[in-house]
Chains A and B, each alone.
Chain A
Amino acid sequence: MPFEARRWPVWRQVTGKDLLGLGRTATSALTEGRTARTTTADRVATSICPYCAVGCGQLVYVHEGEVTQIEGDPASPLSRGRLCPKGAASRELVNSPLRELKVKYRRPHGSSWEEISLESAMDMIADRVIATRDATFEEVDEQGRPLRRTMGIASLGGATVDNEENYLWRKLMVGLGVVQVENQARI
């Protein structure tokens, strides 16, 4: 048998010790020339999978300011290095070109998105909150009991963001008197 044919992976798999093809027979000159992104990373951040509530450990590999790879963290007593298809896809979740990068604004009755700066968006939102709150503020109920709230504003979401974010958001809503604050717990 010619030398080239003996390099054929199936030949090596059947004749060698790697019958399941999970070891060296799966490699070739091409793959041997490759370098794993995990080895070239500048640094590795410890993280947690953002999908479900199992909380699998992740290692986030960063090279030149970019997330180049996300792997399961073998040290986690919960996940022992494993990720499901969603967790394994989380590098694309954070790097996808479909991800929004700039603020999008749609004016009332508008037919398209417009670009505005983050600074103006924040200012406009603050003005909307103040105006709606003032227009709908309820000091007391019909029996004169204090309410100190607005029913004109509602908020939904929290299960995909951090504890610290939930806490600070709720604190702000309490301060504003917004009581209709909810998250994914009811779905």
Chain B
Amino acid sequence: MNSDCIVVMGSNMAECHPVAFQWVVEAQKRGGKLVHVDPRFTRTSALADLHIPLRAGSDIAFLGGLIRYVLENQRYFRDYVVKYTNAATIIDERFLDTEDLDGFFSGWNQDQGMYENRTWQYRGGSVWAAAGQRTAPAPQGDGVVVAGEVPFEDPSLEDPHCVFQLLRRHFSRYTEEMVERTCGVPAAQFRRVAELICDSSGPERSTCFVYAVGWTQHTVGVQYIRSAAILQLLLGNMGRPGGGILALRGHANIQGATDIATLFDVLPGYLPMPMASDSTDLDGFCLPHGGAAGGYWGNLKAYLVSLLKAYWGDAATPDNQFAFDHLPRLTGDHSTYQSTLGMVDGGVKGFFVLGENPAVGSAHGTLHRRGLRNLDWLVVRDLYEIETASFWYDSPEVAAGEVRSEEIGTEVFLLPAAAHTEKDGSFTNTQRLLQWHERAIDPAGDRRSDLWFAYWLGRRIREKLAGRHRDRDRPLLDLTWEYPLEGEQQEPKAEAVLREISGVAADGSPLPGLGALRDDGSTSSGAWIYCGAFAGGQNQAARRRPHWEQSWVAPEWGWAWPMNRRVLYNRASADPSGQPWSERKRYLAWDPEQGRWTGPDVPDFPVDRAPTYKPPPGASAENSLPGDRPFVMQADGRGWLFAPSGLLDGPLPTHYEPQESVTRNPLYEQEANPARQRFLRPDNPYHPTAGEEGADRFPFVMTTYRLTEHHTAGGMSRFLTRLSQLQPEMFCEVSPELAELRQLRPGGWATIVTERASIEARVLVTARVTPLRAQGRQVHQVGLPYHWGSRGLARGDSANDLFPLVLDPNVHIQEVKAGTCDIRPGRRADQAPS
């Protein structure tokens, strides 16, 4: 609403997050501009001031072009950049760029297929990452660990090894001609976007970027987001009203599920899960994971010990390192696609699926269903009988006669789940806002909440194992597992769980916030970032003061982590001296009389920390950061234009082609991200990419997307009459030119073919998908909504079946936004001709 310009890229916000889109329209009413950069013309484009179609998979080239434009035309926000980012920091002189090494950064180990980040470090000191891979970087110089001040910097930004100059060199070839060649975006269009975002940034104005899975589902997905972060830092748009980068997430509680934390590699609050190779000593674990770094991560031990106390209560004592040994250990990537391969190969025997539908929603559905067929047992908890539960009698493989039900040995339990109206609990929305939903009625029949399931399954297993006194059962039997039970169904009280997550002091009183957490075992908190969600013994997430009774920031609606802050890093909304950059963009300001930060939001900074604060020698954690360093999670308190650690595929984003591409990489001999995760096995074939023999068999780009009327893999929409009537059938979207080329008839059938699968879809011929000219050739793109499967009222083939398993190395996300395919008229071979 406060943005002067909003760039939506990798998202169709108007159709996929329509209610949030009202705020974009509000911004437009106030004079703000909307830019939509997307391969397809959608309703978002229809309302945009500027729609820029680009080739799917080329966004880094486009963003890199914008970065170069900002740097070379001196359009960056210089005061912000010098003070609040690491632009001035000097990097190790051994660092070599992709421009020096034809697509590789220094430190590439060809045998292991991964980078070693020693040469990416700050000169004279190693620095811990606030996110991503948080293991220790290789020691530098005298073993200095950056906490606050960095060893070497050049505020004039002229040193050839300072980040600013490295950035200029790195992006020097991202000219508008290169953007045109790579993305298929004419230079004039590109320039309009560049001018618009520059004119809409600076002390008086702010620009916001909005993305969704169109940016993440790539083999270089994390670096897409990094590109936007660099641009927004250069333009001074982070931590300020109307600025920032907004991720639009697709599930009601995807943010919460990530936060507290059903992910293999993090414990609640993004604490690292220990590896077998880590020290078994608690201090020996915390220190190399940033426990001595500057910023709030310097309190890592307090956060971890508080979690261990929440898990194991009285069994976690100073004498047993607070039961640190009770945590199981990782030995590598154990993400969902590895588990799928584990099922196919036989290692994984039992599988729980809670409200997810991987048979439709994950890449290479065929492989997923093969995995399900190979399990000993499967528990599916859902509202409806989804494809993941019915794979043994209703699946493409059974329909095609490739397998028979009787051959499948999997034992399947389908347990009906309670709906959101039938249980108390909180969702965390895409802006980190916890909001409570009340139980309106009790669930009928065998329907139960997942809280009930977790509690009663745990209680039953604990009772069965209580008598056998085996060491391996201690972590289970020592868990604190006492929750008040309510009603006939003996439902655990959700508020009691939120209270445990938020945390309590030794005397059982609720903690006010994360500042109270200690590393001596005197506090417990199930997720440090959620600490304070039950402050004062009140369910803060349940607050619902109407918006007309409070300020536009609405701090009394729900509760945002951490500490109810609505805009992260909001110290950056004021200049180094603590005054607003401009009256128009006033948010936080330092009040010297009161000696505190004031404004409509909770300061994301120690509230009484003066802008002039200089850390005394030996200060640690947040106290090691000077009073003009807004990025309080970073070891140096600054926004990272250059990421010396945390990323597995380079300190800077650079353009790579997708695993499967119709054009060659215009920048480097190295086509795709060298660190991407591939699975070279016969059941996961990859297409030849551009320039390789046979690539012309798959001459078109394919990309997946979502519709307003359906939800992700369809489990919550394809069973509903009205939504199914509104979007009854799988279709593919092609341009008139492609329709003519392949003789596709509007409303008729087409078969989309890859090495993984062939699927059929109705043909939608529309000018909304424009063929582009990239690298001197015509590029046709095929749009595929991915909601369908064999179940429900609206049925159809699953687009995700077409894609292979190939992942981003940092976060193991699938590449389904850009691949190659062929498309032919008519139905699949095993269907009757139309």
Give me the interface of A with B, judged by CB distance under 8 Å.
Answer: 43, 45-58, 60, 62, 65-67, 70, 73-80, 82-87, 89-90, 92-94, 96, 98-113, 117-118, 121-130, 132, 135-137, 139, 141, 143, 145-149, 151-172, 174-187
Contact = CB atoms under 8 A, between A and B. Distances in A.
Contacts of B408: 108-109
A167 B250 contact: no
A162 B445 contact: no
Contacts of A73: 544
A55 B451 contact: no
Contacts of A98: 384, 719, 792-793
A84 B18 contact: yes
A105 B492 CA distance: 25
Contact of A57 (B451, B544, B548): B544
B20 interface: yes
B257 A126 contact: no
Given A147-B331, A160-B716, A162-B451, A129 B711 contact: no
Contacts of A129: 350, 457, 461
B413 A124 contact: yes
A182 B392 CA distance: 23
Nearest to A58: B437
Interface stretch (B259-267, B603-611, B729-737): B259-267
Nearest to B435: A48
A146 B348 CA distance: 20
A51 B707 CA distance: 13
Given A130-B464, A163-B498, A185-B263, A111 B405 contact: yes
Contact of B427 (A77, A152, A163): A163
B277 interface: yes
A8 to B, nearest CB: 29
B497 A167 contact: yes
Contact of B258 (A83, A110, A160, A183): A183
Given A164-B497, A177-B472, A185-B258, A153 B355 contact: no
Interface stretch (B106-114, B170-178, B228-236, B807-815): B807-815
A125 B337 CA distance: 24
10 contacts: A55-B427, A62-B441, A147-B276, A148-B475, A159-B252, A161-B354, A163-B498, A167-B500, A185-B258, A186-B812
Contacts of B217: 187
Given A128-B377, A159-B356, A46 B258 contact: no
Contacts of B747: none
Interface in B538-590: 542, 544-548, 550, 552, 554, 557-558
Given A54-B20, A186-B812, A101 B416 contact: yes
B420 A53 contact: no
Contacts of B258: 183, 185
Contacts of B411: 105-108, 128
A80 B18 CA distance: 13
B494 A154 contact: no
A152 B405 CA distance: 24
Given A53-B249, A148-B325, A126 B353 contact: no
Given A54-B429, A160-B355, A165-B454, A154 B711 contact: no
Contacts of B276: 141, 143, 145-147
A87 B19 contact: yes
The 9 closest A-B pairs by CB, nearest first: A162-B425, A55-B429, A158-B257, A159-B251, A157-B356, A157-B354, A77-B547, A158-B262, A149-B328
B355 A157 contact: yes
B415 interface: yes
B263 A85 contact: no
B461 A157 contact: no
Contact of A53 (B331, B430, B547): B430
Interface stretch (B203-211, B295-303, B592-600, B720-728): B720-728
A96 B719 contact: yes
B339 A154 contact: yes
Contacts of A53: 248-255, 427, 429-430
Contacts of A78: 19-20, 429, 433, 557
Given A85-B723, A172-B458, 11 more contacts: A67-B440, A145-B276, A147-B329, A159-B356, A160-B355, A162-B253, A163-B256, A165-B449, A168-B451, A170-B260, A183-B263
A60 to B, nearest CB: 4
Contacts of B414: 100, 103-106, 113
Contact of B336 (A50, A179, A182): A182
Given A156-B352, A163-B253, A55 B420 contact: no
B712 A167 contact: no
Contact of A52 (B16, B385, B719): B16
A63 B412 CA distance: 36
Contacts of A146: 276, 280, 325, 329
Contact of A108 (B20, B409, B448, B465): B409
Contacts of A48: 252, 420, 427, 429, 435-437
Given A155-B354, A172-B479, A109 B406 contact: yes
A156 to B, nearest CB: 5
B472 A93 contact: no
B456 interface: yes
A103 B416 contact: yes
B516 interface: no
A104 B834 CA distance: 37
A105 B454 CA distance: 19
Given A109-B409, A169-B262, A162 B812 contact: no
B648 interface: no
B428 interface: yes
B252 A99 contact: no
